[in-house]
Structure 1
Amino acid sequence: MENVVKVVNEIINWLWNRENITLLIAIAGFGMSLYNFFRALWDKRCSFRVDYVSHYCCLSKSGKYAEPMFRFNFVNLSSAPLTVVRMFLLVDGEKYEFLFPEQQVYQMTRRQKGETVQIGEVKSQKLPFRLEGKGALGGYFAAYLPTDMEKTFQSAGKWQLVVQTPQKEIVFSIVADKPGYDIEQYGY
């Protein structure tokens, strides 16, 4: 017990000296600036944003799934290349993965000279994809959800998007306020 009291008294006497307090503050400031410097380097290495453009939902051709199609723009804010490996949609605590291969998003046909002709087909962006430094990529992203969720995604809503890169996983809040916008504007 005497040793503890002696050590505490020595610490108090050491802190009583103004120069020692200045030294402590300088060392703490230096340590925090080093931490902030390396943290900023790491954050810049994997810094991007996701912009929601529009979405719509329909049943899959088999009728077994609801297929929400989101149109997103990814913007790489860092000068280093970035790879998006996987993406998930969070809805009411459930996690649904976006599809890896390209998927048909919308197809239009027209009758010309008595024949049915395909006029437009848009494919969803395949995963993984790479964004160059300070680059951007826009595309359609599709997921399979239970059929009872079709109505949920035919209207506006707020959901979360989880984007996974090799460096980290980031959760974005998506305010999906333009359901069917592409169909209304462009016909697909």
Structure 2
Amino acid sequence: MKTIVSAAALAVATLSSPALAQDTGFEGARVELLSGYDIVEGDEGLVYGVAAGYDIAVGQGVIGIETELNDSSVREIYTDALVAGDELRIGAGRDIYIGGRIGFAVAPNTLLYAKAGYTNAAIDVRYDDGTTVDKARPKGDGYRVGAGLEQKINALFGAGGYGRLEYRYSNYGNVSYAGNSVGANIDRHQIVVGLGVRF
């Protein structure tokens, strides 16, 4: 027990030491706008949304949490799907993400980071047989991993302005509607650009 207490005390002392509490300029609360390229199961479109996060300085790097709310223009339209003259539309809907990231300042104005977390996406389904229109919105739970580069851009929003370029992969392992499974292992690849401000 004494060993565990000693190890915990050493960890706390180490984390609170001045060497690990340096100001990297990448810490604090942040908000941003996102837009980019979205590929869901081979179908392409545009992803757009908002993000917010909070980072804490650790040495020359940061650890943080972040959340996003996104939507997408990815759509697929099928005609004569079930009967002649009908139309079936399937599109990527809103996507919610919450996760963490860890980064390292590779230059005074540049942060290289990796991220991982939970994501939940909706799929918009609309079927029109010419007389009735039915809509459904299955939802999928999954994970997201990614990596990116964040660059301070003081001319953007003053001292807190920044931009970032990020690649991320998402997998929705369980897509269900009304309690029934309708699919699994849906792959999603995105390349996004973000413009934000840090407070």
Name the larger-Rg structure. Answer: 1
Superposition TM-score, scaled by structure 1 size: 0.32
Which structure has more relative contact order (CA 8 Å, sep 6+)? It is: 1
The answer to which structure has the higher strand fraction is 2
The answer to which structure has the higher helix fraction is 1
